Each structure stands twice: as structure tokens, then as C-alpha cells.
Amino acid sequence: MSPGPLAILRETFGYPAFRGPQEEIVDHVVAGHDALVLMPTGGGKSLCFQIPSLLRRGTGVVVSPLIALMQDQVAALTLLGVRAAFLNSSQDAEMARHVERALLAGDLDVLYVAPERLTTPRCLDLLSKTRLALFAIDEAHCVSQWGHDFRPEYLQLSVLHERFPGVPRIALTATADPQTRTEIAARLALQDARVFVSSFDRPNIRYTIVDKTDSSRAQLLRFIREEHAGEAGIVYCLSRRKVDETAAWLEGQGINALAYHAGMEGGIRTANQARFQCEEGVVMVATIAFGMGIDKPDVRFVAHLDLPKSMEGYYQETGRAGRDGLPADAWMAYGLGDLVLQRRLIEQSEASEEFKRVSGAKLDALLGLCETAGCRRVRLLGYFGEDSRPCGNCDTCLEPPQTWDATEEARKALSAIYRTGQRFGAVHLIDVLRGKAGERISRWDHDKLGVFGIGADVDETSWRSVFRQLVALGYAHVDHEAHGALKLSADSRAVLKGERSVEMRRVVARSKPVAGVRASVAAALSGDEVGLFERLKAWRGAEARSQSVPAYVVLHDSTLAQIARDRPRDLDALAGIGGIGAKKLEKYGPALLELVGAA
């Protein structure tokens, strides 16, 4: 009898059990049916097509838009003893012919193909001469014309169904919204496919949103140093200039930081991405151009120095942390300036009024997440239609924010806006309230106003938070025509007249996430274990370099951490560690046992 899915999971991949819906999906595809799989990043989508490719006769063809990712996946599969190859534009004609011959000879379990290559008559012809186990369409949301990962070549993929009606297809994506799901099913002719929807929760990610101070860079630096020294992370900034400046500044502070954005010279950009992928502990400072296709599993934190556009963006970007399931941080510094800027980008865009309205609503949902006194995760999942309980692993759960009655301060702030003619931004208004004399103040005679100095008892940080929350709550709005001046809104009156009270979140001067689970892998180990973990990492680094693959392709952090904790005494014990399959046991077993001190 040939081995079943579980035997392959254990023997080849070295994992003891399937996760969530994996087993059901594998059975479904092995039986020859179509599937549409919605699973969050890090959920374990790859096994859903890799194992059926091994179990069904013929080659499993995987469509993937990302060339760098293909190479890593093929390298990783090869190390597991799976016969895998890829066809894409990065290889020369000779290499491609070699792969084609192997395919025709039935020597491949899995073949990764770029979509533009797959849909050529030549490639389709080649496939028609081959026995095919299945088609897997990875990153299937690329068919969606509304999403920002749209790839026109993906629209051609319905040809697979027409040319190869008997071959099962499995489409996979980490995009959660129902609209995209419907679009995928329609465009790939998967209406009859069974849909598998997983929870989109990423329990290992700890969410933290802090109030921006004068120097968000310094807040970031403290966060990296105290929580993630020497670990890999991504820092998102809105503009290319800020990316360059932040990367250079972090580097000057001794952080191993690189930059990435679409305006850079192509060669440098590619080199930086490769270093991030292969080296350990690189911090990538990037615009959201650095996004899809980063499947580095050991990204320990994603930090936002600027507010994303929407909940979708926030979820997707933070989702790049902790794919390996180990603790990771999603950290964001947020302030009034972010809110002003994002609103302006929407208002000043060339888009239709309808599009602006939708964008505004999406931004509001994200502001709701920033300002909430409740669980961040409940908000986030709720936005995607998923019910959940307070998580215990976000800043508001770990240290519930205090709310306070800010009615008096709100009235003072709104009066300041009104008395100065609704022509000034928060910085100037705070000077007025705090009675801070200066050239601009005297030029406008603002020191002669009744509101001058009425808020001297409240510090600047708190005033900033008051103004921010007034805007977020809709009691004031930002006029972009007038360079970000604050104006009263329809709701201001009730507050000014004392008819409505205002509750606000109290600012907490906090740079780092509150306790709870520490998101550093080494921190979860004891003193002795950390030493061994570091030695294992050093060995892995040398091994990765000699094979020219990223370190995580050799072994994951989680595997090394488990070895450091359990100190397996022999090959049998080592085989019981997650991530050590038969091939890796044979290849690395002796070296690992020696490092543990068992050999």
C-alpha cells in the first residue's frame, strides 16, 4: 500500500500533525476535486498542494507570480527529497530544456511555473504531453482587478480548465474579503469548487499601537533594541524619501538596516531583497512596494512609522510577521499627522467621488482600530466578518487603556479652533492653549485672545492626543485646501454648548509593547538553551552559505529552538523534532547531535 497523507507529512516534511483544515483539503484534492482555499499567511497553504502532488500520479503544476519565491520553494523541497523544479524567465534556455525533459520523462513531483510562461502555446503543448497530478494557483487574488496585486496574466489561467478538464485545480489566497473570493471563483471558473475558509486570526502576532511622540524614529529604535535586537523585521514608511532617511538613520544607530522602494535602482533593490531573505537579522525599511512574495518565515516584527490606508493594508502588511508561528510583533506609531496626511491623499486624488467615499470609510475603520479601548484583534477580525473574544495578546488587552472625561478639554480645544478663525493646525492651536508666546502668536495677536493659556495645565502630548481624537471622533475636521487647518464640524456645536460629553483614551508614554508573550524567540529559552540556540544558528548560517540558500531553508528557527530545549540524545529523538524529516535527519543529523553534545 502506498503511504497516505499523514505518512508523507511525517516522513517527508517532518511534522507530526496536520494543521486546521489542511487534512481535509489534501483529501479533497487527492480525490480529484477542485478547491478554493482561503487561509491566512503562515497558515500552511503550501502543503495543501505539495502533498497531493506527491500522492497523485503525475506532476503537480504550481502557478506562482513570484520568481524569487519559486526558487526558495524548489530549494526547500529538494532538501526534503522531493523532485521539484521551476520554469521562469530567470533561467537560460539550456536549463529550461533540462527541466522540460525531466517533466516529459515523468521525473518531477512538483513544477513551479510563472503565469506568463504557463499560458504560452509552447508550454500548454508541453503539459498536454505530460501526466498531470493537479494545478495549484497560488496567490489567486492576483486575478482580482481591484486588488493592488493584479496580474493580467492571471486572467488567462481559465485556459487550464478548458485544456485540461480532468485535472483538479486548487486556488489559494490569503486575501480575506468575500468580494475577492467571488471574483477568483468567477475568473478561474471555479464556481463548483469547494471553498475552504480558515480563521484569519494570527494568534502569534501581538498588536501594539503607540502614540507618536516628536521623534517616532527614536520610539522605533527603542522598540527594536529592547524587543528585537539582532532579529529580522520590516519597517513600513509612506514615502520613498522617508524610507531612505530612516534606513540611513537606523544604520547610523548600529542597526543592520536596508532600504527598499520602487524608486531605487533595480540592481540595488534586488540585492537588498536578497540580503533580507538570506541573511539573518536584517531590518528592511520599505514602502509597501516591498510586499507580496516575502515568504521569509522568521520576520519577527513589522513596524509602521506611517498609517496604512485601510484595515486590509494593515492586516496584509502586519501579516508578514511570524509566518513560522513563533511569537511576533506588529507595532505602529500613530499620530494626528498620519490622519491628516491620509485624508489629504484621498481628497486630493484624481479618483471618482465614489472611490473617495469608499477610501474614506476604509480609513475610518482603521482609525477606529487605532483609537479603540477594546481588543485590537476583535476589531481587526470583526472587520473581516469574524467574531472573536478579547485575545490577551494585544496592547489594549494586556494593559487596558484608561478613558477619561475629556469634555472640558474638548471644549477648550474647539474654542481655540473657533476663536483663531479655523485657519490653524494643531501645532499652533496647542501653543495658543498652552500660552506659549512666540513670533507667530504675536503676529496674529493670539496672545490677546481669551483662550490664550487656558490649557496650560495640560501637557503638549496630551493636547496632541486630544486634537487627534477630536478629528477621529468627528468633532473637528481637517481642511486640506487650507494646509491642514482644523475646522469645526456639524457635531462640534453640541460639545461647545456643553450638551455632549466626550470620552477619550488616555495617552500612555510607552515605547515598547506591554509584557505578555515576548516576541523574541531566544527570550523564550533559558540561559543554557540560548547558548546552544546561538551555536545552532551559527552552524545553520555556514550551512546555508555553502548551499547558497536562505538559512530558513536549511532549518527553521522553531526547529532550532526545539532542539535547544529538548537536547535530543540520538537520531530517533532528533526525528521527533518538528521540521526534521527523513532527508534532513540523514543530512544534518550527525552535525546536530554533535552540536548538542550527544555525539
Tell me the C-alpha to C-alpha distance, in Å, between residue 455 and each of 286, 414, 451, 460. Answer: 39, 12, 8, 10
Q: Report what 5 binds from Zn ion, ligand ADP, none; CB cut-off 5-8 Å by kind.
A: none
- Which CB, 370 or 375, lies closer to Zn ion? 375
Q: Report what 394 binds from Zn ion, ligand ADP, none; CB cut-off 5-8 Å by kind.
A: Zn ion
Least CB distance to ligand ADP at residue 118 (A): 19
Please report, as ranges, the residues that interact with ligand ADP according to CB under 6 A. Answer: 15, 18-19, 22, 39, 41-47, 295, 297, 323-325, 556, 578
Q: Report what 324 binds from Zn ion, ligand ADP, none; CB cut-off 5-8 Å by kind.
A: ligand ADP
Residues whose CB is less than 8 angstroms from the CB of residue 9 and which lie 6 or more positions away in sequence, other chains included = 15, 17, 18, 47, 51
Least CB distance to ligand ADP at residue 40 (A): 7
- Which CB, 177 or 324, lies closer to ligand ADP? 324
- Which CB, 261 or 296, lies closer to ligand ADP? 296
Least CB distance to ligand ADP at residue 268 (A): 27
The answer to whether 281 touches 258, Cβ cutoff 8 Å, is: no
Least CB distance to ligand ADP at residue 161 (A): 23
How many angstroms separate the CA atoms of 411 and 80, rounded? 66
- Which CB, 80 or 514, lies closer to Zn ion? 514
The one among 394, 426, 429, 592 contacting Zn ion by CB under 5 A? 394
Number of residues that bind Zn ion (CB under 5 A): 5
Tell me the sheet residues that pair with 236.
Answer: 286, 304
Residue nearest to ligand ADP (CB): 44
Do β-strands 485-488 and 476-479 pair in parallel, antiparallel, or remain unpaired?
antiparallel
The one among 286, 397, 560, 593 contacting Zn ion by CB under 5 A? 397
Q: Report what 377 binds from ligand ADP, Zn ion, none; CB cut-off 5-8 Å by kind.
A: Zn ion
Q: Report what 39 binds from ligand ADP, Zn ion, none; CB cut-off 5-8 Å by kind.
A: ligand ADP
Residue 391, interface with Zn ion (CB under 5 A)?
Answer: yes
Q: Report what 233 binds from ligand ADP, Zn ion, none; CB cut-off 5-8 Å by kind.
A: none
Least CB distance to ligand ADP at residue 450 (A): 59
Nearest to 430 by CA among 404, 462, 463, 400: 463
Phi-psi region of 8 (alpha: psi -120 to 50; beta: other; left: phi over 0): alpha
Tell me the C-alpha to C-alpha distance, in Å, between residue 201 and each of 43, 123, 209, 491, 521. Answer: 10, 39, 18, 36, 20
Least CB distance to Zn ion at residue 288 (A): 25
Least CB distance to Zn ion at residue 397 (A): 3
Which part of the chain contacts Zn ion (CB under 5 A), choosing from 37-45, 231-239, 311-319, 390-398?
390-398
- Which CB, 72 or 177, lies closer to ligand ADP? 72
Nearest to 48 by CA among 70, 68, 72, 22: 22
Do β-strands 84-87 and 110-113 pair in parallel, antiparallel, or remain unpaired?
parallel
Query: What's 565-580 look like in SS3?
Result: HHCCCCHHHHHCCCCC
Least CB distance to ligand ADP at residue 490 (A): 45
Residue 441, interface with Zn ion (CB under 5 A)?
Answer: no
- Which CB, 25 or 397, lies closer to Zn ion? 397
Residues whose CB is less than 8 angstroms from the CB of residue 135 and which lie 6 or more positions away in sequence, other chains included = 60, 61, 62, 63, 160, 164, 167, 168, 169, 170
**Phi, psi angle pair for 42, to nearest 5°:** 85, 0
Tell me the C-alpha to C-alpha distance, in Å, between residue 405 and each of 123, 187, 502. Answer: 67, 52, 6
Quickly list H helices, 293-352.
Answer: 311-318, 336-347
- Which CB, 172 or 367, lies closer to ligand ADP? 172
Q: Report what 42 binds from ligand ADP, Zn ion, none; CB cut-off 5-8 Å by kind.
A: ligand ADP
Q: Report what 41 binds from ligand ADP, Zn ion, none; CB cut-off 5-8 Å by kind.
A: ligand ADP
Least CB distance to Zn ion at residue 201 (A): 11
Nearest to 554 by CA among 579, 573, 578, 571: 579
- Which CB, 269 or 377, lies closer to Zn ion? 377
Residue 70, interface with Zn ion (CB under 5 A)?
Answer: no
| Burial grade of 51 (CB within 10 A; 0-12, 13-18, 19 or more) | buried
Least CB distance to Zn ion at residue 373 (A): 11
Instruction: Map the footprint of Zn ion across residues 327-386, applying CB under 5 A.
Output: 375, 377
- Which CB, 196 or 314, lies closer to Zn ion? 314
- Which CB, 383 or 552, lies closer to ligand ADP? 552
H or E element: which one contains 495?
helix 492-496
Helix (H, G, I), strand (E, B) or coil at 85: strand
The answer to whether 107 touches 85, Cβ cutoff 8 Å, is: no
Chain centroid offset of residue 538 CA: 27
Least CB distance to ligand ADP at residue 171 (A): 13
- Which CB, 22 or 246, lies closer to ligand ADP? 22
- How open is the CA angle 220-225-228, to the nearest 5 degrees? 95
Least CB distance to ligand ADP at residue 198 (A): 9
Helix (H, G, I), strand (E, B) or coil at 377: helix
- Which CB, 45 or 376, lies closer to Zn ion? 376
Q: Report what 335 binds from Zn ion, ligand ADP, none; CB cut-off 5-8 Å by kind.
A: none
Q: Report what 18 binds from Zn ion, ligand ADP, none; CB cut-off 5-8 Å by kind.
A: ligand ADP
How many angstroms separate the CA atoms of 120 and 96, rounded? 14
The answer to whether 310 touches 362, Cβ cutoff 8 Å, is: yes
Helix (H, G, I), strand (E, B) or coil at 171: strand
Q: Report what 323 binds from Zn ion, ligand ADP, none; CB cut-off 5-8 Å by kind.
A: ligand ADP
- Which CB, 54 or 285, lies closer to ligand ADP? 54
Least CB distance to ligand ADP at residue 406 (A): 42
Handedness of CA 332, 335, 337, 338 (dihedral sign): positive
Which residues here bind Zn ion, judged by CB under 5 A?
A: 375, 377, 391, 394, 397
